[in-house]
Chain A
């Protein structure tokens, strides 16, 4: 249930161009063929009473409220399940229908509590509404018969409760869980009067397969499934549309509030990325924004061993500016730099990179994309000409074959995964290429046709093998290649990929994947029709991450799977604005719009607008910053919204680098691991306070609107402007919209973007300019951005990271559904109930030979470090591979990961670390122990 009265047309829209004309209550209306009578009526402005129907779910025909009369037909069919036919004449209000509806409502109300005035859904209840709409005045059955009024309440889920006494068994929740989410955790147990909603087989919600996406809560027409925040706070009174700050899906939400207090976040039905769905994080885990751990005041200290001192904004800015200038005066312009955030808005990131380029005077700016999808930017630019994915999310609904490589979307991009599962249930086939048996391999009504369970570090070998099959078995789309791709680079690549060393048989020894499985997968990809690749950090976070991206691009071009819905090369970008952060020029070699700093023409554009000169040489990447800091040549840093001391590899090296700095300025919500090394702390803003835009993995620019004033008193972009001004470069904007206007004026792919356009259109996918005024959902439709597609030879070069007798296992890392990245946000919400510590998953045979059982403490040791985690024996990985997450600072997953990285971009090789596990009596480091390492704030207990 949602407070904002969203228009609900009763049943889903039906695609198609053909239309049919009907008359409803004398009103003529034309609708797509196949549309239900209910939806046709709603389109004409006639709302037919209903309880089990909603336009996010397929019609069910159970409540019997939506009955209509149709000329020439007997009886009173349900309008939700009756399709329109040409010339149909429908009456929605007749004495007969009114009597029937009142009778139906009488039955519902005879078995429903009559405590409306104290019910959490008072004023926001569809059952209440329908009772009024049908004119119910009496319940002749009385309330003494058998009923369900003593139904129990399940409060196990931290975010919502299930009150069985109020359930009308409309099945909306069950259908939402199956159709929308695809988890199938709910069912109707029993029959007839005994029909009741059941989570799994009579489990509690928390004990069932429920993933707490909240789709059932949203679908519920009564207070049966109710947000606990509504129970506690009451029904919201106003709403603001905004965008989620978790993953790269970028779900649109309606924040429903009382004053500036968020009551609930309801997924926006009109959200381009999510179409009314969400996951547990976006829908429920927003409480961190007002958590007591929020550091809301600026602080400074001379040494990182000193206590923090709360100061005014002016003093903090002056302290930072003076310190950075002093470092430059003594050590040179290049001795300072900064890192932008992938969680801040485009406007905030643009201002920080501008500050670094214009006020710091160098290109020492980088962003967290360095450690995740920088190979995507490199690889797709080399082959297609654009550093971004090629499709929108809706494209997957047109795919015949989906390949998921190095990604676990049901955990990392759950709302996209729900859409993917819907397409798979409708008949599309799936190939999974991953060392782990991710959930998608086999889940309700979904099974992968092939699971290529390769050894970590062998991605390029397997993509070469797939391409080898395509080329040697005559499966190349020669017409597409001839028309759209470079002839010479294709010819060179074709010769290379046809070499015997690239065959499935030759690479089987490297990858561990049987040759026949590779051949089947390749044939599927090449012949399925529309074949799409979706990939994640299991592709990019390798020493050949960029090569693998180019290998996938080669495969897509060779088979003609580019430039239309249902195909493409689709990076599943991790963070809410990592795409935007890259778009905004956060890389040391590129200005906004992915244009190299050496290009005098591009520099000229920005120099004219910024009124300064820009360094024409590339600056330092994040790993280079660390090396230069340890070498004593890089001594000052501004870090916006990143916790590199937890998220970056080889934490000992990172901490040594941070400890070498003379001045570290951290702008964040909380005192995190990186802030332990800071000299200036500038409080940041949560997404609930920001005013700007995020760009998601499908290049969709969405508005982020503030629901409350910045708790620190400053927007983050204002802080960067003040710091730049204090360093001698005056910078100011009237508002965030003005920043986007400057971005649009300087960046051709954003030329048509403005807050005004976004308010009008909801969102746009860049490029958005005169050539594409409403944005570009699908790229490279008539031609590649670079002109002709470029093929790149991709020889397999094994990583230098090898197992041996001392470190015989391979550690790979990833994320899970309930926690997010370093956990700074989700650890401060009830999501910890699902995942209160990181564990290391180990294969049963590896565990047996080491005497390890589930729950045991184990050391994980690599050549660079050691940490302690609890073990979980699992068969999801192949023997020889272990897996963990990095959501808790005490886990130290990155204490053991190494400095090895992608050859082209220095994206760390998180997915391949040689380790050994052994039982230990030591316990894992707790979050409290990590937090105790922070220096106190003077004057606070």
Chain B
């Protein structure tokens, strides 16, 4: 778990420093949705690709409200930087 201090292991959404909240005032939605979608994808990535995509799509259909799916789909339409390929394909299946 412990890195050698290399910032390559810093997690996303890093704070500006101790005591500073992680940008609570700005709409975190695209970044947090990307993180959540990528997390789902990484937990099924060991499956054959099509199975992983379908399981991710199924999860999004079953647990994500339409508003969240739409927000992330709009993000994909705008380029979808940082979105895992499995998650990207899954979103296409739930349009």
Contact = CB atoms under 8 A, between A and B. Distances in A.
Interface in A580-603: 588-589, 596, 598
Interface in B15-65: 15, 18-19, 21-22, 24-29, 32, 35-36, 39-40, 42-43, 46-47, 59, 61-65
Given A589-B62, A619-B65, A624-B65, A808 B22 contact: no
B83 to A, nearest CB: 15
A139 interface: no
A113 interface: no
Given A797-B43, A802-B11, A863-B14, A596 B62 contact: yes
Most central of B1, B15, B61 by chain A CB within 10 Å: B1
A633 B65 CA distance: 13
A577 interface: no
A909 to B, nearest CB: 11
A798 B65 CA distance: 27
B23 to A, nearest CB: 9
Contacts of B18: 859, 861, 866, 916
B45 to A, nearest CB: 8
Contact of A906 (B9, B36, B42, B62): B36
A543 B63 contact: no
Contacts of B32: 623, 627, 899
Given A544-B43, A588-B65, A455 B5 contact: no
Contacts of B81: none
Nearest to B67: A334
Nearest to A589: B63
A241 B50 CA distance: 56
A316 B4 CA distance: 57
A937 interface: no
A621 B63 CA distance: 9
Interface stretch (A30-38, A46-54, A385-393, A648-656): A648-656
Q: Interface range on chain A: under 10, 10 to 19, 20 to 34, or 35 or more? A: 35 or more
A903 B40 contact: yes
A160 B52 CA distance: 60
A929 interface: no
A904 interface: yes
B62 A803 contact: no
Interface string A885-916: 00000000000001111011110000000101
Interface string B56-89: 0001011111111000000000000000000000
B63 to A, nearest CB: 6
Contacts of B1: 455, 457-458, 798, 802-803, 810
Contacts of B43: 544, 547, 795, 797, 903-904
A456 to B, nearest CB: 8
A107 interface: no
Given A624-B65, A630-B27, A800-B12, A808 B2 contact: yes
Contacts of B2: 802-804, 808, 880
A628 interface: yes
Most central of B22, B25, B35 by chain A CB within 10 Å: B22
A494 to B, nearest CB: 15
Given A624-B68, A903-B42, A904-B59, A805 B5 contact: yes
Contacts of B7: 804
Given A656-B24, A804-B3, A334 B11 contact: no
A801 to B, nearest CB: 6
A129 interface: no
Contact of B24 (A624, A652, A793): A652
Contacts of B6: 804
Contacts of B36: 901, 903, 906
A767 B48 CA distance: 37
A864 B65 contact: no
A618 interface: yes
Contacts of A624: 65, 68
A861 B19 contact: yes
A460 to B, nearest CB: 10
B35 to A, nearest CB: 8
A596 B63 CA distance: 10
Contacts of A903: 36, 39-40, 42-43
A623 B40 CA distance: 16
A865 interface: yes
B11 A800 contact: yes
Given A903-B39, A903-B43, A906-B36, A618 B65 contact: yes
A620 interface: yes
Contact of A656 (B11, B25, B47, B63): B25
A654 B18 CA distance: 18
Contact of A631 (B22, B29, B47): B29
A802 B59 CA distance: 26
B19 A543 contact: no
Contacts of B40: 903-904
Nearest to B12: A800
B9 A804 contact: yes
Most central of B4, B39, B40 by chain A CB within 10 Å: B39
B10 to A, nearest CB: 6
A618 B47 CA distance: 26
Contacts of A798: 1
Contacts of B64: 618
A878 B28 CA distance: 35
A617 interface: yes
Given A543-B39, A793-B46, A866-B18, A630 B65 contact: no
A353 to B, nearest CB: 16
A544 B40 CA distance: 10
A630 B68 contact: no
Nearest to A588: B65
Interface string A807-843: 0101000000000000000000000000000000000
A560 B67 CA distance: 43
A821 B60 CA distance: 32
A898 B25 CA distance: 16
Given A627-B32, A652-B24, A656-B25, A618 B62 contact: yes
Interface in A770-813: 793, 795, 797-798, 800-806, 808, 810
Contacts of B65: 334, 363-364, 588, 617-620, 624
Nearest to B22: A864
A864 B21 contact: yes
A621 B67 CA distance: 12
A795 B3 contact: no
Contact of A652 (B12, B21, B46, B66): B21
Contacts of B13: 863, 899
Given A619-B65, A899-B32, A795 B46 contact: yes
B68 A866 contact: no
A455 B1 CA distance: 8
Contacts of A795: 43, 46
B20 to A, nearest CB: 8
A594 to B, nearest CB: 12
A473 B70 CA distance: 49
Contacts of A627: 27-29, 32
A900 B22 CA distance: 12
Interface of A: 334, 363-364, 455, 457-458, 496, 543-544, 547, 588-589, 596, 598, 617-621, 623-624, 627-628, 630-633, 650, 652-653, 655-656, 793, 795, 797-798, 800-806, 808, 810, 859, 861-866, 880, 898-901, 903-906, 914, 916
4 closest Cβ contacts across the A-B interface? Answer: A805-B5, A652-B21, A656-B24, A631-B27
8 contacts: A598-B62, A618-B65, A653-B28, A793-B46, A801-B11, A804-B2, A804-B5, A865-B19
Given A630-B26, A801-B11, 13 more contacts: A617-B66, A620-B65, A624-B68, A633-B67, A653-B21, A802-B11, A804-B2, A804-B6, A880-B2, A899-B13, A903-B42, A904-B59, A906-B36
Interface of B: 1-7, 9-15, 18-19, 21-22, 24-29, 32, 35-36, 39-40, 42-43, 46-47, 59, 61-68
